[in-house]
Structure 1
């Protein structure tokens, strides 16, 4: 299932060179305690991954720490993290010459995983079911003579791994990849029966040794200069310190097959890595290519999942490029109604998901039109000229450039100049109309000398910050002026769109056009405060003050030292996947503040009874009647800071929360500032607010009548004032 190559380049060029890579590779087949069953393939997995690093990526053997079987004790594994942090296996002169901006770290573990009841004393370590997740060292379960209570050697819990990775990230940068081929939960899914019947062996240990609450306090309490949150596990949380590749989800098991002499995940991973140039692959495109069985779904999580593999030095994946798969004479795109796709949308087709850069262009080779749309997928008809040219089931990437509902009116004090920039061809292609009355236009461009001043006639933001943009554009900068139009359309479309079948609260009479609010959740955003103690490699932070969203709009006094986090509470009996975006109307940027992990799915090579679905399977994020925090506690993300541009005293932004009941990838919504655009060869998706009115059903939510997919949106306005300035009511 190859991606179509849109360009060729010299991967040996210094521009595409990987940073200096260092690795810890652990493989454990034999466990010292008779209480745990041995494995047969974990050491082979570790050896195969080491072989890949040495032969394909040319990582020096001296840069790799290898631990196998009896050598992979608990103390040896923990010590290896410190060795990576201090680089003590390198000559002293070399250690000090290594720049964090030019290095990457890979930690690979193959062996048993487990979970255990969280000690009651870990009150600040929030987990969704009061269990910790852990890796099993080779000496787990052996008696310790050096401990006063003669306890057995315990597993290495996620809490400890999180602290180690966080400390490592602070010293060596966040170009860290964790690859875990093991179970990390009970894995009681029904799919395991099929795997067991076919001879697969799970990499899971039940009933691990008791873990004293203070066992790793020497690690947990290590001070750090960084700011941010304590982690809840590295096994399935959106982290800023690293990217995680995990063999399975929380409700599944990771398997190995003795006859194949590999773990299912490692075999699939190395198969892809050995087929492609790592320089052209991102973590997201890797997940698109992994071929996993339906009963084991690999997971990928982390803030930097759009990076190129093991490489933070050059621009990676463009989130606006949506994966698609050639199926017979059609292209199945992994985006549908939830992602804002409509029938008749015009889509550019690209050969990869990379940002187009001068050294490696990723230009579209054709455009197609969406013919059918489902909740999370769409179908595009391929022309006969491409059906026989494209390989069967090849992976392509799609960018939406126009929707039937798109429209934007523009005007200027200099119509001759305006029409020279926005030609008839451009206006037709982007659904733009030029109107003579500036007051009737959505966007007003005022030309003074060689400078263009921008006014957004956008009432939702204008009532707080006026119409004039803080940014100006040179009158001959056609690229940014064109890009501005595309950004405005995309911004307004995704801010205003809502599920037309959303149930609107009967008590909500303030219709601002934003819609949504049918799925019952509460959202609580508060200022965060650093405590003096240190845990997990970071200082402990706690919420203080009132909920910013107690009033509408919410008000924030901007201070560079103030941090914020957010808690979402699910009041329904539905499992939910939250996606949180921040819309900045001044910059026209849309930033993802939280998105669920990526998973493998049918379009990635699964065998499934439902051949029409392309939705991957990933862990539930927001369980029924539960809470989930973003920015502190269990998610591992750094807290948020608001800022006001120099010379301004007030700003406004919009948080938009998308809630889905099935895993969905909404990263196509993200866009950078209109005034710091990507290279000219890389165009943005075009989109705008639909003109249709939201259909409002005025009845109570009856969850028993819900269809397979339910989704909704909630928009919250935040007005930001400069510290020390006047706060308007």
Structure 2
């Protein structure tokens, strides 16, 4: 392992085997041992100073003790500098309870971690409702993490070896880290209100995002524990699975460990921390867990050991472990090799077409896409190249998208400019294929010289009704900068034209825009929002089905949310983007939290965006430019299987650097009908 200095890590490590009020068959065996092993790894392997690691075991990990230690050891710790790495590890029981209606949970439930002194009426504890000690819900945890994020930055790793659904004891060697009190009273809506309100008062009142010069804005990043922005979450399993305790590999009868923590530590010990990202670590964890699970099933066939799929969530998954730098593999696609026929599988978004895929530097090999589907492709060695050994964690990059071209007509006065030859060469070498149209041919874009620079006029037929104004590329830009901006425009148009010609589920997917109002209290670390009284009014006005442009009024004081619905036969993964014609930026408004988790857009349910528990913030509609109106497009992309299209996002083309280039590959196996996908668009015009 490369030599790195991790002396600035601060950690809170919690492990609970013995619960004060639970029956003996509810107690765990390996949670404290797992937590102690994690602490040992931090101290002995990473050489984290002992004062930086705070451990709470068994009766130390009370509800009050966990919350107070979180704030005192981490949030209020003056020794922790901004962006220092922070790790929170919990091993113990989790639970799932019905959420108060005021919390607007998308599935009506809330997840909790259970402290050592949690009430449990199915045992010997029979407190009155007002004295009942609930677990710590994700709403409270989210507020604590959000406060930590505000104070110390976003270099935060949360690790949970517990689960929130399923049954409890599975046998003498296999237990689930889940405990549910079916006699528990309802969770009060104001539970931990002092914590979430305290955090919300520290949050800034709001900020704009880069869509349309704040045409659409949102509040500061949400604080719930599943927020995509504030931290990276490593979890033991899907929410429909069990986090299991299994026999230790040493084979002793009494020793137990969490399958997830065992796989986590094995992966950390084997990988190079200097080059491994969270996503790369999770791939190793999942491989270890699969092997370890198979071994346990073989050792203990009489115990009903279940499948367990560790999870990684958060938009910082491509960062190097415990750092703010991104891995070199960011923007690349991982290969999965089929050793039987020397082919490779990639799980990639739409836009992988039959053609060549190579590395931009010194490639190990050149691969050809021989079988192409909507969300995956099969790559093979070309006949002209010998078959060579490819490392297990190799990546590919797409060098050219050949399925779509952008037609550009360039005025002859621009073609004679001394820098144009270099601009054209740079554009021809980028991913998007450029066709240089002749004056007599149709074109998507027209470049016209003016006294102020180069005017970019859009003539694409599908955009006529939006009527976007021409874009000006100011005079004096270098060849590299001019090529970069034009490349950003090509990227914008390439992704905007995505569609499924068959539209298999277009009529079974819905997206509404509704007005929100301030909720009765504070939640998720900021002011809560709920649907307004007129929330039955769809501000898109049915434009999703008619293709017309929705007319929106600029009002920076109002807040809005989206509602996604699904009446198809499948649960779906969903992404929402906003394409802004003012500056050619593309903003991600929603993406699934995990590549291997359950599809969040459930059949017959509503997925809220901008309120509730979806991990997103309210939108605001604001036209603060000099123009009378601004235009843009909402894109809803849905797929039966997870794909990574997060690299679509781009900042303004006038920004110094275009961001959002993560391209991550999920290890989720292909399921029946996994190639079902569709794209829906809503054009909007925002008037003063």
**SS of the residue 1:106 aligns to:** strand
Specify whether residues 667 and 156 from structure 1 end up closer, same or farther in structure 2 by C-alpha distance, changes over 3 A only: same
Partner deviation per Cα, 1:442-464 (whole Å, 9 max, x = no partner): 33333457944333333444544
Normalized against structure 2, the TM-score is what?
0.80
SS of equivalent to 2:344: strand
Q: Secondary structure at the match of 1:278?
A: coil
Q: State the match for 1:548 in structure 2.
A: 539
SS of 1:403's equivalent? strand
Alignment match, 1:434: 436
* Cα distance, 1:215–1:500 mapped onto 2, change above 3 Å: closer
How far residue 210 of structure 1 moved from its aligned partner, in angstroms, is 1.9
Aligned to 1:77: 66
Superposed displacement of residue 708, structure 1: 4.9
1:537 is matched with: 525
Aligned to 2:414: 414
Q: 2: distance between equivalents of 1:708 and 1:533?
A: 41
| TM-aligned CA distance change 1:216 to 1:532, over 3 Å | closer
- Find the residue that maps to 1:598 and give its secondary structure: coil
Aligned-pair CA distance for 1:183: 1.0
CA contact (8 A) 1:229 1:639 kept: no
Does structure 1 retain, via aligned residues, the 8 Å contact 2:351–2:401? no
Please report how far the alpha carbon of residue 71 of structure 1 lies from its aligned counterpart in structure 2 after TM superposition: 1.5
Matched, 1:324 2:335: yes
1:525 aligns with one of 469, 490, 513: 513
Cα pair distance change 1:655/1:282, threshold 3 Å: farther
| SS in structure 2 at match of 1:103 | coil
The CA distance in 2 between the partners of 1:499 and 1:396, in whole Å, is 27
Answering whether residue 169 of structure 2 is matched by residue 169 of structure 1, we say: no
Partner of residue 243 from structure 2, selected from 254, 257, 269: 254
2:587 maps to 1:587 = no
Alignment of 1:298 with 2:279, yes or no, is no
What secondary structure is seen at the aligned counterpart in 2 of 1:349? coil
1:311 aligns with 2:312: no
Please give the alpha-carbon distance, in whole angstroms, between the structure 2 residues aligned to 1:364 and 1:541.
50
Partner Cα distance (1:46, 1:647) in 2: 58
Q: How big is the shift at 1:656?
A: 0.8
Aligned-pair CA distance for 1:669: 3.1
The alpha-carbon deviation at position 716 of structure 1 amounts to: 0.7
Select 1:225's aligned residue among 199, 202, 206.
Answer: 202
TM-superposed CA distance for 1:667, in Å, is 2.4
Superposition deviation, residue 650 in structure 1: 2.7
Q: Is the 8 A contact 1:563 1:640 kept in 2?
A: yes
1:135 counterpart residue number: 113
Shift of 1:68: 1.1
SS at match of 2:359: strand
Q: Distance in 1 between matches of 2:47 and 2:479?
A: 44
Deviation string for 1:641-688 (max 9, x for gaps)?
Answer: 4555754443211111111223333324334443336599x9999xxx
Deviation at 1:124, TM superposition (A): 1.7
Offset, 1:719:
1.4
Provide the rounded CA distance (Å) in 2 between the counterparts of 1:521 and 1:229.
29
Asked if the contact 1:152–1:209 (Cα under 8 Å) also holds between the matched residues in 2, the reply is no
Structure 1 CA distance for aligned equivalents of residues 46 and 329 of structure 2 = 24
- CA pair 30-376 structure 1, distance change in 2 beyond 3 A: same
Whole-Å separation in 1 of the counterparts to 2:400 and 2:652: 18
Deviations 1:586-633 (A, max 9, x none): 43333222111224xxxxxxxxxxxxxxxxx42131221110111111
Displacement of 1:109:
0.4
Q: 1:367: Cα distance to partner?
A: 4.8
Stretch deviating more after TM superposition (24-33 or 162-171): 162-171
Equivalent position of 1:333 in the other structure: 346
1:264 equivalenced with 2:264 (yes/no): no
TM-score, scaled relative to structure 1: 0.75
- What corresponds to 2:600 in structure 1? 621
> 1:565 deviation in Å?
1.7
Are residues 536 and 591 of structure 1, via their aligned partners in 2, closer, same or farther at CA, if it must alter by over 3 Å? closer
Aligned pair partner of 1:716 in 653, 673, 682: 682
> CA, structure 1 residues 175+224, in 2 after alignment: closer, same or farther (shift >3 Å)?
farther
Q: Is 1:288 aligned to residue 283 of structure 2?
A: yes
Structure 2: gaps (5+ residues): 206-218, 250-255, 294-306, 664-671
Does structure 2 conserve the Cα–Cα contact (< 8 Å) formed by 1:155 and 1:208? no
Match of 2:494 in 1: 493
Give me the CA root mean square deviation. Answer: 3.8
* Cα distance in 2 for residues equivalent to 1:150 and 1:650: 55
Partners of 1:187 and 1:620 lie apart in 2 by: 22
Alignment partner of 2:446 out of 444, 447, 463: 444
Q: Does 1:216 align with 2:216?
A: no
Cα displacement (A) at 1:558: 3.6
Q: Deviations over 1:454-475 (max 9, x none)?
A: 3333344454454521443645
For each residue in 1:524-557, what CA deviation from the matched residue of structure 2 results, as whole angstroms up to 9, or x when unmatched? 2134333573334321223345432015322333
Q: Is the 8 A contact 1:238 1:596 kept in 2?
A: no
Cα distance, 1:135 vs. partner? 1.1
Spell out, residue by residue over 1:292-351, the C-alpha distance to the aligned partner (whole angstroms, 9 max, x if none): 338111222234334333333x4567764222224443332112xx5232223x32337x
Residues paired across the two proteins, number: 623
2:568 counterpart residue number: 572
| Equivalent position of 2:90 in the other structure | 109
Query: SS state of the match for residue 124, structure 1?
Result: helix
Residues 21 and 139 from structure 1, CA distance in 2 versus in 1: closer, same or farther, beyond 3 angstroms?
Answer: same
Q: 1:140 to 1:197 in 2, by over 3 A?
A: closer
- On the 8 A contact 2:143/2:223 being kept in 1, the answer is no
Q: Classify 1:433/1:34 alpha carbon distance in 2 versus 1 (closer, same or farther; 3 Å).
A: closer
Match of 1:636 in 2: 615
